Chain A
Amino acid sequence: MTMLPAAPSPRRLGLVIDLDTCVGCQACVVACKEWNTGGYGAPLADEQAYGAGPSGTWLNRVHGFEAGSGADGRMVHFPKSCLHCENAHCVTVCPTGASFKRASDGIVLVDEDKCIGCGLCAWACPYGARELDGQAGVMKKCTLCVDRIGAADLPESEREPACVRTCPTTARHFGDLADPDSKVSRLVAERGGFDLMAELGYRPTNKYLPPRPGRRSEGRADSELEDASPNGGFLGWLDKVLS
């Protein structure tokens, strides 16, 4: 068993993901793979790369599904990665101490040198956010691009996760959710950001912003335009106004 930090971290770094603007384009998914396959730890391997049933390790995936029906129906694009929980069972079940939650910023990481690939953490994660790498035999997960966000040799503007940086609909935001004045905390407050499956009690750091209510009929479902010339008819309007 591995211990979580004794006290809440002073910072709680995480993502805020806007379900109102995610179009399911997979940009974040591939940017994540691209950055992280050459960065933190072992590469993110791919099996049957050009054969039947290709599969590989990804730290972030977007699922598309339909929900509701009729007028309430919608197509949901749901990005899913590690939510860096406060109550991270993936850490506490780890038999070797490979999984850990950083005391400084709450990021949940895997020390690949200690990981034996037993997979307990993946079983413990209710979100399915960890993937065992088929070739390296170690557990891979979202690191919030921990190598980028603190990199002294990257310009300040680039010290954010690759997924956030690339998102074409600006549906992904990164910041400190312990700071009530941070941009991400304000977004959560303004837009009603919520915890994914809060009832399970894992206290995820990442938040999702719900779809905006939408402006389907602007409160005037029966509205229609009035005739310009009720008595003279259509051509009456023409005659009066235009000649």
Chain B
Amino acid sequence: MADVTRDGQRVAADEIRTTTCYMCACRCGIRVHLQDGELRFIDGNPDHPVNRGVLCAKGSAGIMQQHSPAKLRQPLLRNGPRGSGQFRPIGWDEALEIATGWLSRVRYDDPRKLAFFTGRDQSQALTGFFAKEFGTPNFAAHGGFCSVNMATAGMYTHGGSFWEFGEPDYERAHYFLMFGVAEDHDSNPIKLGLARLKDRGAKFVSVNPVRTGYSAIADEWLPITPGTDGLFVIALIHELLRAGKVDIPYLQRFTNSGWLVVEAAGTDGDGLFARDEQGRPLCMDLATRTLQPAEGADVDPMLAGLVELPDGRQARPVFELMARRYGQPDFAPDQVAERCGIPAATIRRIAAELADAAFGQPVVVETPWTDVWGKRHERFVGRPVAMHAMRGISAHSNGFHTCRSLHLLQALLGALDTPGSHRFETPYPKTIPPGPKPAGKPEHIHPGRPLPGMPLGYPLGPEDLLVDDAGEPVRIDKAYSWEAPLSAHGLMQLVIGNAKRGDPYRIDTLFMYMANMAWNSAMNTKETIDWLTEIDPATGEYVIPRIIYSDAFYSETVAYADLILPDTTYLERHDCISLLDRPIGSADAIQDSIRQPVLAPDRDVRPFQDVLIELGWRLGLGAFTDGDGNPRYRSYADYMVRHERTPGIGPLAGWRGEDGSLTGKGPPNPDQLQRYVENGCFFQEELPPSARFMKHFNKDYQDLAVRTGMMPAVGPLTVQLYSEPLQKFRLAGQGHGKVLPPERHRTRVATYFDPLPFWYPPFDAAANRDRFPLHAITQRPMAMYHAWHSQNVWLRQILAENRLYIPAAEAARHGLADDDWVLLESRHGAIQVQVRVMEGVNGQTVWTWNAIGKRAGTWGLDKDTNEARRGFLLNHLIDDLLPAREDGQRYPNADPVTGQAAWYDLTVRIEKVVRPDERVHPVFPPIARPPGQPPAPDQVAYGSQFRPWRPSR
């Protein structure tokens, strides 16, 4: 093509610098093209393993994010009422002195009174470490309202997860089943993968109430009723079991299907695994007809039948318990079809297609490998059925068990980490569940002292909960309490409400980072704003006395904070995408990456992580202070290189050791960041072919994983279809054991801690169905990431206002046409919005795009913009708590196992508004522009500074 137009005009920019995108959470590699020091172009890095050169709309709009009029410009101290937007600009010294004063007092008084919650934070390995060193258990990022159901269900089942911890085998799958995904995480990899699947002729089935985006290109779209995915999956399991289309050898060897479960109703051993003296779980070995350690080398576990144990108790294999449960006629397709919104014949056919794909067309990878027992295998044999699931499963109060059901379906097909199925991305799989346990028990919390461990982790039983002697919560968000025992990501959605209610206690300082809790990140937005501004009559102070907030932009939350620590943009900072946090590993390689500053800030802002490290030193935290009392780390970049979490293991895995020759584990390398930059800001070490599948049992993989610090030891990681930790909680709910729930929680714990996955109607959606007959959900638009992109002049032209999409039949019933206004009402509130009629949506469901509505005056926008007049949030309709039980107990509007915010349990009714005032309701007063923020321009014509290119004829 080179001879087409060769005009001798320069096109390439002066300089290309690589870094990692942060226009959403996907973490694609980008190349930033600079001309005369200015942003000319941002494109995908072709060498980068995440996005392989492609880039989405958000990533390409990074130029306009850098030029956003909403950028914060200097530290601010509030000098008007909260919510007024009145601030006094201050210098960094004053800002950090104020923060240190507030935090230091709390630390030496009662460290719990600091609640430190970060939003879409990609530096949780640091922020969590800060909380630990500070000594407060009250730390989490935004996972409680995002994905904790997916993470926890996966970690307790197979030590990994959907989402970004595993990947469909797009290269080999013949059948792909996607549940409830609309531009969630991994967006570019999913798009690349879908194109690859379609190119290869695989079948792609999308299970989603709404036919947008990915569902639009599916071979088959199943418009499921929200919250019933688990029931659909169990019906598929029923069909497969009925037909015997399950992978028996896989289940025997690689899952706990053959482990024996004690039947001793009414005792504290009921439902636990039969174990030998060394605590090893037992199976009945069919070859010898003797009890043997179930994870032994050559066992042939029995999958059904009653066994008498040496102590006289009886036990049955897990598989039999599963078969009895899921074989019940209640789960036959005919019984679930109406509830799921999917015809019974379709459910039966999908089950048949799954069985055909899994067992009719095995995929073989001819690579010898050795299992953890030392046995050599000549090849990997795969079941080419892949699945993926995310928010649509996660954001329901039954999401944990629904996700476990999905993993059970995968296991029954032998479709976990076999070729063609769901593959585990490094550093997963981990121990099931991964260690360590959460720190923050009452005895862990002392004024002026660190916690003994990180605040977030995975409990193995009731003894690991963070509760006091009365069984009541330690944490402000009630994470790891009986209300949400496995809340591995915390419950950020409850922090402000609980702090206001003083339930379990009041706090002194709320410290938040990039979490828009006064708007689209809160359930119950209107009340959340009231809580942030409520004054305690006893003290005359705000009920939440001090709020420190760090963000790069003037979001809705800034005006409600007292001290603002302005962050940089993603192009102005160092960051690390660490294996200790949320990694970017793939199934075929160990990978991590960094951000490097490609532009210098043009205003008085600092990277939040630099600031946090300095605050740690100012507070005298040992981990951030050296022996002479000086700062231990100069900056986050310095921390990324020199910090060691345990000897030899630090934030970055690549080029460790003094000469940079070690991966994963090794002494710090002072040139490490330079090596990353030279390599395009990422590190990649490919796994040998023998280590790429069956990682739970693959010695070739596990030897490497131990050597690089990804696993503690080589050994079988048996997939836990039956979860003993769940049963331990259930036993406590039944009154057995040393650590028992308060009486009022017992029935609930006993019900929802079922060791086998089950389905129940989502809580909030189940109530008041006569009054609120429609489900209401949101989808994330492909060109927007939550609240971030209304400030982006290019992206807001794609979507500046949203409509409520309603099924055509529902529109006809109410006499509604496109752009009519309706009152949308839930049990909790009402909003006025505009509708659009749609065919491709489940008949009992209405939906809209997520986070398009904006508060007037924020995000650098004019006061009367589309986003404020015709953009809306469903959040106003969603209560953060469930209605009071008869005894007054109110539980979170969340999954009872994990505390995952149940956004998608919302149900509503619609009513036509006859004489609308042509704007959305509720209406909030505009927020004033902060001092120092210049007015946004009316016109933009970006690029005139670059020399124009002229064509030849």
Contact = CB atoms under 8 A, between A and B. Distances in A.
A208 interface: no
A21 B936 CA distance: 38
Nearest to B862: A51
B2 A25 contact: no
A42 B44 CA distance: 25
A159 B42 CA distance: 16
Contacts of B239: 224-225
B435 interface: no
A51 B199 CA distance: 43
A146 interface: yes
Contacts of B240: 225
Given A46-B939, A168-B191, A242 B4 contact: no
Given A25-B56, A50-B936, A154-B12, A37 B943 contact: yes
Interface stretch (A101-109, A122-130, A197-205): A101-109
Contact of A46 (B320, B351, B941): B941
A26 interface: yes
B213 interface: yes
A49 B345 contact: no
B946 interface: yes
Interface string B25-56: 00000000001000011111010000101111
A54 B797 contact: yes
Contact of A169 (B183, B195, B838): B195
A181 interface: no
Interface stretch (B130-138, B299-307, B606-614, B704-712): B299-307
Contact of B352 (A171, A223, A227): A223
A50 B1 contact: no
A98 to B, nearest CB: 11
B506 interface: no
Contacts of B279: none
Given A30-B783, A73-B839, A225 B953 contact: no
A11 B5 CA distance: 12
Contacts of B41: 34-35, 38
Interface stretch (B373-381, B384-392, B617-625, B863-871): B863-871
A238 B215 CA distance: 38
Contacts of B860: 50
Interface stretch (B57-65, B102-110, B483-491): B57-65
A49 B213 contact: no
Contacts of A76: 216
A6 interface: no
Nearest to B349: A223
Contacts, number: 316
Contacts of B446: none
Contact of A47 (B220, B242, B938): B938
Contacts of B840: 66, 73-75
Interface in A120-151: 134-136, 143, 146-151
A134 B938 CA distance: 12
Contacts of B10: 153
B54 A166 contact: yes
A234 B849 CA distance: 45
Contacts of A225: 239-240, 242-243, 245, 348, 351-352, 355
Interface in A1-47: 11, 13, 20-27, 29-31, 33-35, 37-47
A56 B797 contact: yes
A218 B198 contact: no
Contacts of B44: 165-166
A152 B3 CA distance: 9
Interface stretch (B395-403, B749-757, B788-796): B788-796
Contacts of A54: 793, 796-797, 800, 866
A58 B798 CA distance: 11
A218 B953 contact: no
A39 B949 contact: yes
B937 interface: yes
Contacts of A135: 939, 941
B323 A234 contact: yes
B775 interface: no
B304 A39 contact: no
A43 B527 CA distance: 45
A105 B199 CA distance: 30
A223 B860 CA distance: 57
Interface string A152-171: 11101101101001111111
A103 B183 CA distance: 43
B11 interface: yes
Interface in B518-537: none
Interface string A65-83: 0100100011111000000
B11 A151 contact: yes
B324 to A, nearest CB: 8
Given A33-B794, A73-B840, A105-B4, A221 B349 contact: yes
B939 to A, nearest CB: 6
A5 B55 CA distance: 37
Interface string B925-943: 0000000000011111111
B248 interface: yes
A212 interface: yes
Given A48-B938, A215-B203, A147 B9 contact: yes
B571 interface: no
Contact of A143 (B54, B869, B951): B951
B949 A41 contact: yes
Given A24-B782, A146-B5, A243-B302, A49 B940 contact: yes
Contact of B54 (A27, A109, A220): A27
Interface string B102-138: 0000000000000000000000000000000000000
Contacts of B188: 168
Interface string A204-226: 00000001101111101111111
Given A13-B4, A25-B782, A153-B11, A166 B243 contact: no
A55 B797 contact: yes
B562 to A, nearest CB: 27
Contact of A149 (B1, B58, B324): B1
Contact of B219 (A43, A75, A216, A235): A216
Contact of B56 (A27, A69, A165): A27
B783 A218 contact: no
Nearest to B251: A242
A218 B51 CA distance: 32
Contacts of A165: 43-44, 53-54
Contacts of B198: 20-21, 212
B807 to A, nearest CB: 12
Nearest to A147: B949
A75 to B, nearest CB: 4
Contacts of A87: none
Given A75-B216, A223-B352, A49 B938 contact: yes
Contact of B57 (A25, A56, A153, A159): A25
25 contacts: A24-B782, A26-B57, A30-B60, A31-B57, A33-B794, A39-B949, A40-B949, A45-B939, A51-B862, A52-B866, A54-B796, A66-B838, A73-B211, A75-B215, A149-B1, A154-B11, A169-B192, A212-B198, A220-B353, A223-B348, A225-B351, A234-B327, A235-B324, A243-B303, A243-B305
Interface of B: 1-12, 35, 40-44, 46, 51, 53-61, 63, 69, 183, 187-188, 191-192, 194-195, 198-199, 201, 203, 211-217, 219-220, 239-245, 248, 302-305, 319-320, 323-324, 327, 345, 348-349, 351-353, 355, 782-783, 791, 793-798, 800, 838-840, 860-862, 864-866, 869, 936-944, 946, 948-951, 953
State the 10 A-B residue pairs at the shortest beta-carbon distance, nearest first.
Answer: A228-B244, A150-B5, A38-B943, A225-B243, A168-B191, A50-B936, A75-B216, A224-B348, A151-B11, A243-B305
Given A25-B783, A147-B11, A171-B195, 19 more contacts: A23-B213, A30-B58, A35-B41, A38-B942, A46-B939, A50-B860, A50-B865, A56-B793, A73-B840, A147-B949, A150-B5, A152-B2, A156-B1, A165-B54, A166-B56, A170-B192, A170-B195, A228-B243, A242-B320
